[in-house]
Amino acid sequence: MMNEFNGSKPIYLQLADRIHRQIISGELKAGEKLPSIRDMGIKYSMNPNTILRSYSELEREGILETKRGQGTFVSEQQDLLVLQREKLKHEQIQQFVNVMREMGYSPSEILSGLEKYLNNIEKGDE
């Protein structure tokens, strides 16, 4: 995982997105403890307040849970995590399709291009 962040979006939101993707992908499991705010700050060379803000954002969404005196954990609510996974998939598809449409591609051109790309990945031709 890269520790680079860009200036297009607040860093705390970029970190929250990164953690969110780790949860959605299964890299972080339901109920798993996250590093302390201090440890995460060291890992990413960030101010602990930035980490706290990222954690708070994900907690507000119900993705993380803070247990007093124990730390911050990935939510154990599997239905919420499945819902989040579907939401993220929809957002990524929507973003991709919007960009392709802005470039003038029709829905059938987008679909055929995507099918061709996925078939090439399966063959190892990427």
65, β-bridge pairs: 73
Q: What architecture does CATH give domain 11-76?
A: Orthogonal Bundle (1.10)
Q: Domain coordinates of the chain in residue numbers?
A: 11-76, 79-123
pLDDT tens, position by position, 13-23: 999 999 999 99
For residue 22, give Cα distances in angstroms to 1, 15, 59, 92, 114.
10, 11, 15, 15, 24
- pLDDT computed for residue 4 by the predictor: 74
- Give the three-state DSSP class for 90: helix
Helix intervals (H) in the chain: 11-25, 37-44, 48-60, 78-102, 107-123
Top-confidence residue, 1 or 33: 33
Per the confidence metrics, is the pTM higher than 0.95?
no
Q: Is the dihedral of CA 17, 18, 23, 25 positive or negative?
A: positive
- pLDDT computed for residue 1 by the predictor: 42
Amino acid found at 13: L
pLDDT tens, position by position, 72-102: 999 998 888 888 889 889 999 999 999 999 9
pLDDT tens, position by position, 24-52: 888 999 999 999 999 999 998 999 999 99
Q: For residue 112, how far is the Cα from the chain centroid?
A: 27
Top-confidence residue, 11 or 2: 11
The whole-angstrom separation of Cα 5 and Cα 12 is 10
- pLDDT computed for residue 126 by the predictor: 63
Q: Residue 58's closest CA among 122, 115, 14? A: 14
